[in-house]
Amino acid sequence: MKNVNNKWTLITGASSGIGEVFAHELAAKGSHLILTARSESKLNDLAQKLSKKHGIQTEVIVSDLSQAGAPAELYQACIERGRSIDILINNAGFGTHGLFEEQSFDRNHDEIMLNVMAVVELTHLFLPEMLRKRSGVVINVASTAAFQPDPYMAVYGATKAFVLSFTQALWEENRKRGVQFLTLCPGSTETAFFDVLGTNDASVGKKATPKHVVDVALRSLGTNRSYVVAGSMNYINSQATRLIPKKIMLRIVSGMLRPR
């Protein structure tokens, strides 16, 4: 789906970072937008700005997708507004860092609900209509953390490994049915991720701009890839996990992510 003009795109986590840049880039290409996140004021400001600048339609739906039932409520809100989603971008997510036993269980629970369950449920809800139209795109945002276990970010790494595996499986299921699945795997990026994380200790390598990450994803549409890694060095590192013994890789990653 190279031509997104007059298509409807739903972006989760749209109020900042990668999600916000997806909104800007797709609006510039003529896509109408449904923007969702927890921050109503930020979403409204973004929606008004993009509608005025690009002449597109925008809808704002405030939702905390870490809460049970929220994905179904978001889907129902789209139905009630008469919006058929052509492009689904599951971008919302956050991480936790530190020794596992010292982390809040409730925080880790919300992390799994948002990073995993919301992705699965929204995909399950919106995919059937795409299949009926034999047209659609689902972009699920994972991370370079998906390619190996991540000591001190054990839950986050596991959720992103799930997203990568899940999306690649659906890519195979649907590649001849008109719906493209793409896993976007950025490395460290200049977003509020590390502010939410509460530390920069987990930042590895030079941070990419959100625009670079989004450009990589949009260039990959129509290329029949199941996943794309943003950044050449990030790609090399992601592939190194196939060559380096697991115990050694764990020690390397542990040294990178250990709280300082």
Question: Cα 148 vs. chain centroid, distance in angstroms?
Answer: 18
Question: Cα 211 vs. chain centroid, distance in angstroms?
Answer: 14
Which of 75, 152, 156, 227 is flagged as catalytic?
156
Please give the single-letter amino acid code of residue 217: A
Tokens at 217, concatenated? 């994803």
Residue found by looking up tokens 């953390």 in the block: 145
Distance from C-alpha of 116 to C-alpha of 95, rounded to nearest angstrom: 12
Q: Active site includes 75?
A: no
Cα dihedral sign for 19, 231, 180, 25?
positive
Question: Cα 179 vs. chain centroid, distance in angstroms?
Answer: 17
Distance from C-alpha of 210 to C-alpha of 193, rounded to nearest angstrom: 11
Other beta carbons within 10 Å of 185:
28
Distance from C-alpha of 221 to C-alpha of 238, rounded to nearest angstrom: 21
Tokens at 170, concatenated? 């659906």
The gap between the terminal CA atoms of the chain, to the nearest Å, is 44
Tokens at 10, concatenated? 């739903």
Maximum Cα–Cα distance across the chain: 54
- Catalytic positions are 156
